[in-house]
Amino acid sequence: MAAIHLIVGFMGFGKTTLAKKLEKELPAVRFTHDEFMRSLYGRNLPEPEFRSAAQKVDDLIWNLAAQVVAAGVDVVLDYGFWSKEDRRQAYEKASRLTGDIVFHQLNCNENTARKRVLERSRTDENELFIDENCFNLLLQNYEPITADEHYNVISHRQSEI
């Protein structure tokens, strides 16, 4: 049975690095939400348009993931799944596709993550643009997985990947 691997962590925690590692090691097909957003909408989509665009990308990725899992191939979803509710919804969607669902929780120092994100925004034209104010605002929405969520979770330290 094909598995769905869901990568949990905030910006700069190393989610895409881990997702690429899993993609090779499992092997699996990786879907990175930010890559789709950049390819389709550019790196600095205004807030009023962002939510609608993100939902369209989300729908597209889940449709593609369903096809890949149906073909018997593992999938890695590199999203972030920042909140308990995001994870609940993702688990519900994934459970319609397979019984093998694994969350990968990434842990990283907040200051290290901030430095990485700000550096990427300054130097990499292919990255979504995030300034320090945006980083700090979004960080308030991040909730690591807690034991009461009762998922199959593998914890990773950023230094281990």
What are 143-156's pLDDT values in tens digits?
999 999 999 999 99
Share of the chain above pLDDT 70, in %: 98
- Structural domain boundaries in the chain: 3-160
pLDDT of 102-128, one tens digit each? 999 999 999 999 999 999 999 988 777
Among the listed residues 97, 151, 109, the one whose alpha carbon sits nearest the alpha carbon of residue 11? 109
CATH of segment(s) 3-160: 3.40.50.300
Distances 149 to 28, 98, 103, 143, 145 between C-alpha atoms, Å: 25, 19, 11, 12, 7
Share of the chain above pLDDT 90, in %: 84
CA dihedral 133, 136, 140, 145 (to 10 degrees): 140
Residue 159, pLDDT > 80, answer no
Task: State the pLDDT confidence band at 46, using cuts at 50, 70 and 90.
Answer: confident
Distance between CA 96 and CA 38 in Å, rounded?
28
| pLDDT of the residue at 48 | 82
Contact 29, 76 (CB under 8 A): yes
Q: Which residue has the tokens 């330290």?
A: 157
Task: State the pLDDT confidence band at 54, using cuts at 50, 70 and 90.
Answer: very high
| pLDDT of the residue at 42 | 87
Residue 158, pLDDT > 80, answer no
Tell me the β-bridge partners of 28.
74
| pLDDT of the residue at 47 | 81
